Structure 1
């Protein structure tokens, strides 16, 4: 019986190869750690389909355009006592989005909308009659303002859904939603 001859390999070469393969495997898995939705940023999300009114509002085109930053996921911030949403975030044509546009918070959470200074005049309007009639909240930051030194806050004391928009940029899809559990 003929034996195949294997190349001579020393211990150092074997250990170096095994170490390189192990390191490559760990690097490949690093993006998965602590990330339930696979987007690589470690943020948990809830499917928008769990909240049909949110999904409809964010993708609705009969009232304004659809928000192009909404990808069918609600950012789960229910463990945070204070939440900040950027007003004038990148999206819907450059500086015409809320960031993040769809969030879930716990009752008692204060949400702060913080103007970025991008996209000109903005406001935050939750007016159920002017939207799809599904919002459990009604609030307003007032007349549209511009500049990075503007803020508006609202504390969500009861479970429900808040659908909101930017009055001057609703036609561009500048919409947002807060799910309160």
Structure 2
């Protein structure tokens, strides 16, 4: 395991970060109201749009959606609404994470009782352990010849050239 080095920031930067987080906490409702999640069923019969708080903004049914029957259509609407809510929840956490920081965002997840869908163990994808196992397996096979990489304009010395928060897989 590698040791972590603390990030060194000036007092001014810490104060600015604290003020930004305080302002963000005061505006959580505004941020979540601006977030949208939209989902469709596989047959494009139902479309649901919700905001970050779960408020239904749009329910669209194709004309022939009645062919499903009342019970099945009701279940389909609920499933699509759940998918839209998951999308809106994740988008909300994606917006709050960089502003509030990981610890505060995780605390909000715990308080709200709604964890980030990316953390859901039933979600499709692989676990961190599986990722590490596959990586170790690839590394054990030896290095492969790397293709030449085109310059993408990234400057590691320029903090504005890349947003580190985009590296988080659970936000």
Q: TM-score range by the shorter chain?
A: under 0.3
Normalized per residue, which structure has more helix? 2
Normalized per residue, which structure has more strand? 1
Larger radius of gyration: 1
Report the TM-score when normalising by structure 2.
0.21
